[in-house]
Structure 1
Amino acid sequence: MSLTLPACDRDLLETLPNDRLSESLFWHTENDARLAVNALYADLDGVNVLSWDALTDIAHTNQNFDIQAYIELGSYDATSSRIYTEWTNAYKGIRAASYFLANVDKVTTTNTALINQLKGEAKVLRAYQYIKLAGFFGDVPLVTTPISIEEGRSLTRTPVSQIWDFVDQELNAAAPLLPVTYAASDKGRVTRGAALGLLARANLLAGRYQKAADAADKVIKLGVYGLYESYEKLFSYAAENNKEVLLDRQFIKDTYPNTVFQTLAPYSQKNGGSSYVPTKALADLYETSSGTLITIAGSGYNPAQPYQNRDNRLKFSFYLEGDQLPSGTVFKPQPNSGTSDAVGSTYIASTTGFNIRKYINTEDYANPTNSGINIILLRYAEILLTYAEAKIELNQLDAEVLTALNTVRNGRSDVKQPSITSTSQAELREIVRRERAVELAFEGQRLFDIRRWKIAEKVIPGPVYGITYTNPNGVVSTVQVVAVNKVFDPNRHYLWPIPQKEIDLNHSLTQNPGW
């Protein structure tokens, strides 16, 4: 018996963990591969994309004690946890995708088309993270395989041009591996259109306009995408998985929910957080219903009734005075209105008097932290605007440019802005930039846009203003957010600093200029 005990002890010690999947049991079946790639979707952005616009001119971080508020004020540095979180979340997604790509060929199957499709999904999801990192930080380490902790301590930053090269190559390689559409049971997976759409976005951000135009054109010619008929309903449950969505983060109420209602809703809606709120700067960008800027004499704009006779996208994106809220009550944000949404009534109520309307659905009122609405990350309207902008920058001012712009402006039943007819490159540049601001408001693109256009120092700095209203004395007044003065230093703020924690762990990482 004593002679057999050592062998028995060894057998007892060689047990499989019961709190996780062992690699010795995984990577065998097609279902293993599917499960592994499914897990990568959890690293896509969700509600956090809404916060990015609050770092620009078109929105504001409502509570001044929020860590993000310090970025608006310019009083942040490389120790910011907000910046560190974006870095770590992106590299978590990159590592997971790289691990999948390094192991999926262990699966024994004759269904090479399926494995190639799953590889395509992983490549696109990894490229998505690199697009974001390049936009936030510029040069970042390019990691394409799983690495050890020690290997991570010696990584260096790859020039951003090479990051764009990698993204371009990956998305071009992935697109042919992916189907154009999926069956209903697989809705939400990365499609060929998503790969090409991200390719268009990446090349636009990189200033590679011909490649951006070509990729956007390929999406258009797939023939499966179009604008959803109602802008007002685009962010509702009824519109989920509609023909305009190229990529989204999918959620399920009760099972895999998000907190978008609680994050954005007015305070009167079961203590809605009003975490990020629109600004007057954005409201003023919406044209009148006749297609004229409100700053132009004779536009018909009335300061006493500033939100009437305007581009309908304004009232579909903002909660405005008199709107009905999910609770059935009326939104009354004017100071001293006596409601919990009144400016100044509480530190949580919107300090601008505006609230974001996108993604706020009546179905979520009963349980604000249990929203199942999908968060859209890329849609067809952006593709049309990318195509138009790239062609404008190339000075290829043909009818297709106007068609793309005018489809966005008046291609829905409830958005009918007059068509653009200008053939001036300078005028069209301003038009497409304004269209991106109002069409894609609160969808996470503005920060990257104003950085690449090099206009951030013109549009961000200064006080934050909100609603214009007529006070009890009959005087037209505009709300100014108390003690907030946004800052943007062009010598340092065009890139975020590399997180100090990363530099402390890896002295091979260099810091961005000015930090």
Structure 2
Amino acid sequence: MRSKKIIYTVIALALFNSACKKALDLDQQGVYTSDNYFRNEKDAINAVNGIYSLLEEEDYIGHAETTFDVPSDDYWRSGDHGEDEGIENLTYDASNAAIRYPWKWRYEEINRSTNCIINIPKITAISEAVKNRSLGEAYFLRAFGYWRLMIIQGDVPIITEDDYSKQNFNVPKSSIEEVRKQIEADLLKAVDLLPESYGGTDRGRVSKGTALGLLTKLYMYWEKLPEAIATGQKVIANSNYALAANYQDNFTRANESSTELLFSIQALQNVVQNDFTIYYIPRAWGGYGFSQPLQGLSNEFEANDPRKQATLLTVGDKVDLGDGNGLTTFTPDLSATGFAFKKYAVFNTQAAGGGVDHTFAVPLMRSADIYLLVAEALIRTQGAGAGDAIINQIRRRASAALPPVVGAGMKELIHERRVELAGEDQRHQDLMRWDKAKIVDIAAIYNLAVSKAPIDQNKTVTFVRPKNYYFPIPQVEIDKSKGVLIQNPNF
């Protein structure tokens, strides 16, 4: 999450020990390294802002990380990235470009975060509140970098503060258990240091609730269900992280101050482009037309569930593109599947010319996700019906017309997560963790033609256990390590 104030901040490349190049014949104003940069409170804030800036990278959270959800039965990859076909069909190898792109950005996030963790405590000209907050942000953002590495690649290298100080970055992989412990340790520190909420220009930074939310997700992936319940309940019980009044409020221009958005990518019109939204919008409307929803996802919604209309654009729907031409119709030529994600098709109707709205905050983690994880953990530990109250909170928020669940088991929980979080990069990972727990058969789900739409019939994904539980380490990283990094099994 990031406020508008953060977006304007630019950190000198020299802060991260990068070489400087002559640009526009400007006089050099100073040379900064990690040793002489961290002087005061402003430096600490700017350094942390430099970690947030990585979330805008097109080859990281801006787009590339969402590619790892395209094998799911929710959508077809679409787009013009040839490497995505291998990811979708699970026919990739370690040289696949989509696997290579985000690896370096995850470690750059870890690098910048560790730099702050080492140096901010040395600053004396800083208030205790800002120091604690800045360190909490750094611990969370480092945990998030390791989180993405852990769920995508499994066993990965952990770069310690000692490694960082010695500039020793060529280290062997740690086990997934060690990586989980590293993430847990960082998140627990973040929970202790971060404030519950923000106001003014700091609105949008990660909060205590953000750290608790990711910690809940970690415990679910770790199969530590009692810990997930206890941690997630702290999010549910705190009004600072309350659900938005209406489901669709999470996907509007005004959502950036929503209490439900625990973590999001924020941009600013005409200043910072939000690649995440552009990738989902049809090309004729100024986007790239990637990740087109399938008929099977459309079929999953109940007949009276308004989340379908808030989530999907269907042929015949009307949209205001802000171009002064009134409502534009979503026509069959805009999508090969007949659908697009409406929740990301947000347009700037407040300025002449319209176009894609970059002031829309893209949710990376919502409270609703955490609610449903707690409900799942309750069902799996206490039996069917134990999660009913929480599931019904989510359903009542969607519509009072939706019938309440009674005695809900995993079938109902899986349905609720699919329709509530559609297109939010959860489905493939959810199915894999449920498959590991023998709750679903992911191979059967993916090998099935799930609907009558031609594109659904053409999508047949062969899932191989245990190979496809994790993606390989990029081959270029294996090569650069000179034998220190060992490739994941089966690759």
1:471 maps to which residue?
Answer: none
**C-alpha contact 1:313 1:415 (8 A) present in aligned 2:** no
Give the AA of the match of 1:386: L
Q: Which residue of 2 aligns with 1:332?
A: 331
62, 72, 76: which one aligns with 2:88: 72
Do the aligned partners of 1:316 and 1:357 also contact (CA within 8 Å) in 2? yes
Matched letter for residue 180 of structure 2: W
The whole-number CA distance in structure 1 between the counterparts of 2:455 and 2:39 is 61
Structure 1 counterpart SS, 2:343: coil
| In the alignment, structure 1 residue 35 sits paired with structure 2 residue 29 | no
Per-residue deviation, residues 288-334 of structure 1 (Å, max 9, x unmatched)? 33xxxxxxxxxxxxxxxxxxxxx22112111012210234122232x
**1:288 maps to 2:273:** no
SS of equivalent residue, structure 1 residue 67: helix
What one-letter code is carried by the residue in structure 2 that aligns with 1:147? Y
* RMSD (Å) for aligned C-alpha atoms: 2.4
Higher mean C-alpha displacement, 353-362 vs 57-66 = 57-66
Paired position in structure 2 for 1:222: 238
Q: Tell me how far apart the structure 2 counterparts of residues 95 and 460 of structure 1 sit (CA, whole Å).
A: 37
Matched, 1:371 2:353: no
Partner AA of 2:490 in structure 1: G
One-letter code of the match for 2:297?
L
Change (3 A) 1:233 1:410: same
Cα offset, 1:410, TM superposition: 1.4
- Residue 136 of structure 2 is aligned with which of 120, 134, 139? 120
Distance in 2 separating the partners of 1:461 and 1:261 = 30
Q: Which amino acid aligns with 1:502?
A: E
Secondary structure of the residue aligned to 1:248 is strand
CA distance in 2, matches of 1:261, 1:176: 33
Tell me, in whole angstroms, the C-alpha distance in 2 between the residues paired with 1:362 and 1:275: 17
Shift of 1:170: 1.6
Is there any run of 5+ residues in structure 2 with no aligned partner, and where? 1-26, 56-60, 322-326, 436-440
Equivalence for 1:235: 251
Deviations 1:482-508 (A, max 9, x none): 864333222411110111111111112
Distance 1:359 1:178 in 2: 29
TM-score if structure 2 supplies the norm length? 0.85
Q: Shift of the alpha carbon at 1:220?
A: 1.7
Deviations 1:435-482 (A, max 9, x none): 1111011111112111111143122235575xx6xxxxxxxxx33368
8 Å Cα contact 2:250/2:261 also seen in 1: no
Q: How does 1:140-179 map to 2 (within 5 A)?
A: 140-145=156-161, 147=164, 151-153=168-170, 155-179=171-195
Q: Distance in 1 between matches of 2:192 and 2:166?
A: 34
* Distance in 1, Cα, partners of 2:166 & 2:94: 22
Which of 406, 410, 430 is the matching residue for 1:421?
Answer: 406
Residue 203 (structure 1) aligned with residue 245 (structure 2): no
User: 1:188/1:415 Cα in 2 relative to 1: closer, same or farther (>3 Å)?
Assistant: farther
Q: Distance in 1 between matches of 2:30 and 2:245?
A: 48
In the alignment, does 2:378 pair up with 1:391?
yes
Q: Aligned with 1:389: secondary structure?
A: helix
Q: Check if 1:505 corresponds to 2:471.
A: no
Q: Is 1:278 the counterpart of 2:293 in the alignment?
A: yes
Quote the residue 1:450 is aligned against.
431
Between the two proteins, the alignment pairs up a number of residues equal to 446
Residue 384 to residue 416, structure 1, CA distance change in 2 (3 Å): farther
Structure 1 residue matching 2:37: 3-state secondary structure:
coil
Query: How many Å apart are 1:264 and its aligned residue?
Result: 1.7
Q: Choose from 464, 488, 495 the match for 2:463.
A: 488
**Contact 1:260–1:371 under 8 Å retained in 2:** no
My pick for the range that moved more, 44-53 or 187-196, is 44-53
Q: Which residue pairs with 2:309 in the alignment? A: 315
Q: In 2, Cα distance between the equivalents of 1:267 and 1:71?
A: 22
The offset of 1:171, in angstroms, is 1.1
Counterpart contact for 1:351–1:481, Cα < 8 Å: no
Task: Supply the distance in 2 between the matched residues of 1:62 and 1:374 (Cα, whole angstroms).
Answer: 24
Contact 1:231–1:415, Cα closer than 8 Å, also in 2: no
Shift of 1:23: 4.6
- Is 94-103 or 387-396 further displaced after alignment? 387-396
| Equivalent residues of 2:76, 2:459 under 8 A apart | no
CA distance, structure 2, for counterparts of residue 96 and residue 319 of structure 1? 39
Q: Does the 8 Å CA contact 1:392/1:428 hold for their aligned counterparts? A: yes
- In the other structure, the counterpart of 2:106 is 90
Q: Offset at 1:148?
A: 7.8
Q: Is the 8 A contact 1:353 1:479 kept in 2?
A: no
Match of 2:320, SS state, is coil
CA, structure 1 residues 50+75, in 2 after alignment: closer, same or farther (shift >3 Å)? closer
How far apart in 1 are the matches of 2:62 and 2:143? Answer: 17
Q: Secondary structure at the match of 1:363?
A: coil
Q: CA 1:164/1:261 → structure 2, altered by over 3 Å: closer, same or farther?
A: closer
Query: Cα gap change, 1:111/1:19 in structure 2, threshold over 3 Å: closer, same or farther?
Result: closer
**Does the Cα contact within 8 Å between 1:213 and 1:390 map onto a contact in 2?**
yes
Identity %: 28
Asked if the contact 1:264–1:276 (Cα under 8 Å) also holds between the matched residues in 2, the reply is: yes
- Report if the CA contact (8 A) 2:443-2:464 is conserved: yes
Distance 1:64 1:288 in 2: 34
Please state whether the residue corresponding to 1:407 is helix, strand or coil: helix
Q: CA deviation at 1:249?
A: 1.6
Q: Please give the residue correspondences for 1:39-78 in structure 2 after superposition, counting only pairs within 5 Å.
A: 39-44=50-55, 45-63=61-79, 65-78=81-94
SS in 2 for 1:325: strand
Question: 1 CA distance for matches of 2:486 and 2:222?
Answer: 22
- The equivalent of 2:115 in structure 1 is 99
* Cα distance change, pair 30–86 in 1 and its aligned pair in 2 (3 A): same
Structure 1 unaligned residues grouped into runs of 5+: 1-15, 290-310, 334-340, 342-348, 469-477
Give 1:260 shift: 4.1
- What TM-score, normalized by structure 1, do the two folds share? 0.81
Of the two, which has the highest radius of gyration?
1
Structure 1 counterpart of 2:256, one-letter code: E
In structure 2, give the amino acid aligned to 1:406.
Answer: N
Counterpart residue type for residue 274 of structure 1: G
Counterparts of 1:510 and 1:367 in 2: how far apart (Å)?
A: 50
